[in-house]
Amino acid sequence: MDDPDDPTQGISPAQSEASGRVCVIGAGSSGIAAAKALHERGIDFDCFEKSDRVGGNWVFENNNGMSAAYRDLFINTSRPRMEYSDFPMPSHYPDFPHHTQIAAYFEEYVDHFGFRDRIEFETGVQHVSRADDGVWTVELDTGESRAYGALLVANGHHWLPRWPEPAFPGSDTFSGQQLHAHSYIDNSIFEGKSVVVLGMGNSAMDIAVESSYVAESTYLAARQGVWIVPKYIFGKPVDQMNNDPRVPFKIRQRFMQQLLKLYAGAPERHGLPKPNHRFGEAHPTVSGRILDRIQHGTIAPKPNIAALEGSQVHFEDGSAVDADVVVYCTGYQISFPFFEENFISAPENHIELFRRVFHPDIPGVFFIGLLQPLGAIMPLAEAQGAWVGDYLQGDYALPSDAEIRADIAADQAAMRARYVASKRHTIQVDYEDYLYTLAKERQAGAQRARIDGYRPPALCRPSAATTAS
């Protein structure tokens, strides 16, 4: 006889076999945080990783061909901000460690929590589909296919370059070198040259500064201004300043903007474009060095590129310079190449998810690390992994469909109202606010899950094999 309390009742044989098994795509800092959450809950999972090691973007010259790290890349979110909550970075690390230290830290994390054997290295996920019964079929580049009850997507969002759209007139016949920041390795390519760097994000800051030490001339071109945040204020990394999410954002914003003006003066004082927004309305550009290099005369600010012609770069103010190299620091595209585009995609970097994790229409798929915080990604990915782990275990229940949709709509409206319109401002969150509201949501969902009659999703449950020990 049917047992009405049996959550597996009514599921297909394929679903039954797949349930209890979870697939994690990617073992970068987001994938490993999620994998650890599954591991400690005894949920059976496979994590597939294209590379021969963990760490994703933080592995310089990663053999997955996807890392944007350059030889002299250092984090710009400070160590305490970036480390996972239960695994501090070594105390001898500086405030802003080098990429080699960050990559080593991720390796140590996996070994410390003991789930390396759950990661299948040099195994790319090529195609993923979902059958009507909810079973996910994951096709690997080894030729193998496997079935899963749930899918965690942690494939990163800083590996597919976004080139200027449309391309600048004359870029197809420009005589110099053109590259995207993603393929930048070190400043040896700039030695003795005339270099134009385009963009006002963190890649543009770092690359213009690196160029300024060896190039004959470096121009920093921008289509709009940003607030430049130094790495330190009052002797402390700036992201360690008190930023209580219970204080209204407008008050925090006014305080920070005043502080930045007092510290360094308005950006236009340094020849940069005047920001058309207030602090906190664009992804922060953090640089302790760019203003110095501009004020030492080694970087010349310019407006946006208008066209390229022969060996010349023309700017929107009518000026032109001879250039040997143009570096497009124009950002990245969000992409899930393993999904059919009409199933799940992010056109123009746009994707609507409940708190950046749960898909409102497709059960059983969860996105980890798909956000741009004012702060580091790792602790947020860790919280997301724990949240999904609770859900899969039956310890968290989602709000109603209507509430989820209203939450997404409110979040999208707030993001549109606050941020400068740009393809780089589609998945923004505030670090403290996100952690705070997610913790509250997890509590609310835990209460809902304790209500009599809550039937957890039949996506997966700890398998006998993993719970036995």
Ligand X SMILES: Cc1cc2nc3c(=O)[nH]c(=O)nc-3n(C[C@H](O)[C@H](O)[C@H](O)COP(=O)(O)OP(=O)(O)OC[C@H]3O[C@@H](n4cnc5c(N)ncnc54)[C@H](O)[C@@H]3O)c2cc1C
Select 117 or 165, whichever has its Cβ closest to ligand NAP: 165
Q: Closest approach of Cβ 155 to ligand X, in Å?
A: 4
Select 176 or 364, whichever has its Cβ closest to ligand X: 364
The contact mask relative to ligand NAP for 352-391 (x = CB under 6 A, - = no) is --------------------x-------------------
Select 119 or 215, whichever has its Cβ closest to ligand X: 119
Q: Closest approach of Cβ 355 to ligand NAP, in Å?
A: 19
Single residue of 66, 209, 220, 371 touching ligand X by CB under 6 A: 66
Of 21, 118, 128, 145, the residue nearest 459 (C-alpha): 21
Paired tokens of 138: 């994951």
- Determine if 424 is a binding residue for ligand NAP (CB under 6 A): yes
Using DSSP's 3-state secondary structure scheme, residue 195 falls into strand
Residue 357 CA from chain centroid, whole number:
13
Alpha helices, DSSP H, located in 161-248: 202-212
Size of the site for ligand X (CB under 6 A): 34
Select 15 or 76, whichever has its Cβ closest to ligand NAP: 76
The contact mask relative to ligand NAP for 286-305 (x = CB under 6 A, - = no) is ------------------x-
Question: Which of the ranges 78-86, 142-150, 318-326, 328-336 carries the binding residues for ligand NAP, by CB under 6 A?
Answer: 328-336
Question: Which of the ranges 49-57, 109-117, 168-176, 351-359 carries the binding residues for ligand X, by CB under 6 A?
Answer: 49-57
* Rg (alpha carbons) of the chain, rounded to whole number: 24
| CA 225/CA 272 separation, integer angstroms | 7
- Determine if 358 is a binding residue for ligand X (CB under 6 A): no
Q: Report the amino acid identity of residue 191.
A: E
Residue 412 CA from chain centroid, whole number:
18
Residue 60 CA from chain centroid, whole number:
17
Count of all residues that appear for the chain in the document? 469
Single residue of 15, 77, 101, 217 touching ligand X by CB under 6 A: 77
Size of the site for ligand NAP (CB under 6 A): 27
Q: Which residue has the tokens 């505030």?
A: 430
Paired tokens of 385: 């992994």
CA dihedral 78, 81, 86, 91 (to 10 degrees): 20
Paired tokens of 344: 């799940």
Residue 61 CA from chain centroid, whole number:
19
Single residue of 20, 156, 176, 331 touching ligand NAP by CB under 6 A: 331
Residue 125 partner contact from ligand NAP, ligand X, none using kind-dependent CB cut-offs of 5 to 8 Å:
ligand X
Single residue of 46, 83, 206, 281 touching ligand NAP by CB under 6 A: 206
Q: Which residues of 329-356 are buried (b: 16+ CB within 10 A; e: fewer)?
A: bbbbbbbbebbeeeebebeebebebbbb
Question: Which of the ranges 6-14, 200-208, 269-277, 347-355 carries the binding residues for ligand NAP, by CB under 6 A?
Answer: 200-208
Through-space distance between the first and last CA atoms of the chain, rounded to whole angstroms: 32
| CA 273/CA 266 separation, integer angstroms | 10
Q: Closest approach of Cβ 407 to ligand NAP, in Å?
A: 24
Specify whether the CB–CB gap between 182 and 332 falls below 8 A. yes
Closest residue to ligand NAP: CB criterion:
201
Q: Closest approach of Cβ 91 to ligand NAP, in Å?
A: 21
- Determine if 29 is a binding residue for ligand X (CB under 6 A): yes
Residue 214 CA from chain centroid, whole number:
31
Binding site for ligand NAP (CB under 6 A): 73-76, 158, 164-165, 181, 198-204, 206, 223-224, 283, 304, 329-332, 372, 422, 424
Binding site for ligand X (CB under 6 A): 25-31, 48-51, 56-58, 64, 66, 68, 73, 75-77, 82, 124-125, 154-156, 158-159, 203, 338, 369, 376-377
